[in-house]
């Protein structure tokens, strides 16, 4: 087995600090002593498993497999789904070959199997970076109100996410983000997701709510001057399983501030949200939801195992996420991979066990192995992803 030069180049240059990989096993029978064909089929089997648990569509699985595996050579190319591929182990027993591969996967397909389930998202309180900008109108509470509205809109209009709110206190995200403390942000995301039983965490920063310098009604000399007010907000979504940043976007708009600069404005009131400035905020939230849905739909829905008993498990996904009796899941063990250069990458080992859902409640589901085998080293905190 050998890697092409372009494959080595991509392996070394294209992984981010939190590159996500999947380690899976595949098997195939050796027919007429043709070990090369059997090994290729075993690798195809392993790669298909990795792609499916990562959330790739069924059609893209075959496309990627055919594009990457050719006889005894792996030619890695810049693909929408597979960033790098490595043969970890290869064993022969009788007429059966078993291979273990490690694949770095970033599903980008617009239609994917993962879209069947709603994913859980924790929305944290936003941070107004320049508090003094809220003096005019006294809109200091906008950091909480905005995220509360985003959550309601997301649950009503979004298709792929089920949100929870954490608005009582501010997180340390902005301080860490301004200081580029990426490892600490990773740990914060993992801790918040674990504490709130969610898969993803959204942070946000309100960068600018200042006023424009020029008035926009100078021709109406009998009226009080009206100025446009800026609205600039950035959102960041992190994977709560491994702390990886998976989506980031900044939104900039402005609209007329129709209130007197001495008026104290209630940002919870319907009158504010019907004003020009409130309306531009609402439109921005709608655009956020569209972007979040588009970018999150193909993220694999990974449920956390909260109980293990014999050949049965309970996961923290239920009917509100779209889980139904009869759904089948693969089991993953969260693990880290340390490269030769000493860099740590988050990833998953895919278990040989598969389970089928037998009972579903609103927020959880019970599943068991189809062959009644005990679950071995599967433990609480491991993950389940739909096949």
**Which tens digit of pLDDT belongs to each residue from 147-172?**
999 999 988 877 788 899 999 888 99
> Where do the structural domains in the chain lie, given as residue ranges?
1-111, 118-296, 302-387
* 82: Cβ contacts below 8 Å, ≥ 6 apart: 47, 51, 64, 68, 76, 103, 104, 105
- pTM given for the model: 0.68
Whole-number pLDDT of residue 58: 45
The residues that bridge with 166 in the sheet, in sequence order, are 124
Note whether 1-111 and 302-387 share their fold: no
Question: Contact 15/83 with Cβ under 8 angstroms?
Answer: yes
Q: For the chain, what percentages of helix, strand and coil (3-state, to nearest 5) are there?
A: 30, 35, 35
Fold (CATH) for 118-296: Rossmann fold (3.40.50)
Cβ atoms 47, 69 nearer than 8 A: yes
- From the number of C-beta atoms within 10 Å of its C-beta (0-12, 13-18, 19+), residue 342 rates as exposed
Which residues of the chain carry a pLDDT beneath 70?
A: 1-20, 52-83, 106-116, 214-225, 336-346, 372, 387
What's the confidence (pLDDT) of residue 7? 35
- Report the pLDDT value the prediction gives residue 136, as an integer from 0 to 100: 93
* CA distance readout (Å), 254 to 215, 281, 284: 13, 9, 10
Distances (CA, A) of 330 to 59, 336, 370: 19, 19, 12
CATH topology for the 302-387 domain: Thrombin, subunit H (2.40.10)
CATH number of 1-111: 3.30.1660.40
Say what the pLDDT of residue 80 is: 39
Tens digit of pLDDT for each residue in 375-386? Answer: 777 888 888 887
């Amino acid at each position: 087995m050998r890697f092409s030069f372009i494959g080595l180049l991509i392996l070394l240059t294209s992984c981010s600090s939190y590159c996500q990989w999947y380690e899976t096993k595949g098997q195939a029978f050796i027919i007429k002593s043709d070990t090369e064909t059997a090994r290729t089929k075993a690798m195809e089997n392993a790669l298909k498993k990795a792609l499916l648990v990562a959330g790739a569509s069924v059609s893209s699985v075959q496309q990627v497999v055919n594009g990457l595996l050719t006889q005894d050579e792996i030619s890695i190319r810049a693909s929408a789904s597979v960033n790098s591929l490595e043969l970890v182990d290869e064993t022969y027993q009788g007429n059966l070959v078993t291979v273990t591969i490690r694949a770095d996967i970033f599903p980008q397909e617009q239609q994917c199997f993962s879209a069947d389930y709603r994913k859980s998202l924790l929305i944290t309180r936003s941070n107004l970076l320049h508090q003094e900008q809220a003096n005019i109108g006294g809109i200091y509470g906008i950091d909480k109100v905005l995220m509360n509205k985003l959550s309601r809109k997301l649950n009503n209009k979004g298709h792929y996410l089920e949100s929870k709110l954490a608005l009582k206190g501010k997180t340390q995200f902005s301080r860490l983000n301004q200081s580029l403390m990426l490892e600490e942000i990773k740990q914060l995301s993992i801790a918040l997701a674990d504490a709130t039983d969610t898969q993803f965490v959204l942070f946000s920063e309100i960068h600018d709510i200042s006023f424009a310098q020029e008035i926009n009604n100078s021709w109406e000399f009998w009226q009080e001057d009206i100025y446009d007010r800026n609205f600039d907000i950035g959102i960041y979504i992190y994977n709560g399983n491994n702390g990886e940043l998976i989506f980031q976007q900044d939104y900039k708009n402005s609209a007329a501030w129709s209130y007197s600069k001495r008026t104290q404005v209630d940002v919870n009131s319907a009158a504010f949200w019907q004003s020009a400035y409130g309306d531009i905020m609402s439109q921005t939230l709608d655009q956020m939801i569209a972007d979040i849905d588009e970018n999150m739909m193909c993220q694999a829905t990974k449920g956390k195992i909260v109980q293990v008993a014999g050949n049965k498990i309970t996961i923290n996904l239920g009917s509100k996420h779209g889980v139904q009796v009869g759904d089948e899941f693969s089991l993953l063990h969260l693990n880290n991979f340390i490269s030769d250069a000493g860099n740590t990458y988050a990833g998953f080992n895919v278990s040989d066990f598969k389970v089928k859902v037998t009972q579903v409640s609103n927020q959880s589901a019970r599943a068991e192995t189809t062959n009644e085998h005990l679950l071995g080293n599967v433990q609480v905190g491991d993950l389940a992803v739909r096949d």
